[in-house]
Amino acid sequence: MSVEEVEWRDAPDSWSKKEILGHLIDSAANNHQRFVRACSSGALEFPYYHQEDWARVQRCNEAEWGNLVQLWSAYNRHLCHIIERIPESAYSNPCNIGQPEPVMLEFVVRDYLRHMKHHLGDLLGEPG
């Protein structure tokens, strides 16, 4: 993809492809903590992810595209390694992620994969 393509925004309040990939890196970082900690403990409390604040602070539109791609790729290979090794018994561990009701670790893992697939479609220009 060209620099213009990865930095372009549809509107001032929308994200560029660089920012979408930065968001997926944030998701990997947040979920990494959730996956590992939920395997080690019982019920857990995790902070809510304030995506607009994270995007504003990190300014991924100014980052090198290749670096973002490499980081996202390496991080997700590591998360695949972790997910493949989650004990079956841990999937029912409750995780509260800044919401009134907790969800089970199994939902967190499945939702992470669904979320990533959704945004990869955005990056590749595939319909929702």
**pLDDT computed for residue 45 by the predictor:** 86
- What confidence tier does 127 reach under pLDDT thresholds 50, 70, 90? low
Q: What is the pLDDT of residues 9-61, one digit of tens each?
A: 999 889 999 999 999 999 999 999 999 999 987 778 898 899 999 999 999 99
How many whole angstroms separate alpha carbon 48 and alpha carbon 30?
10
- Taking the CA atoms of the chain, what radius of gyration do you get in angstroms? 16
What domains does the chain contain, in order, with CATH numbers? 3-96+117-124 (1.20.120.450)
**pLDDT computed for residue 44 by the predictor:** 81
Q: What pTM does this model have?
A: 0.92
- What confidence tier does 128 reach under pLDDT thresholds 50, 70, 90? low
How many whole angstroms separate alpha carbon 100 and alpha carbon 94?
12
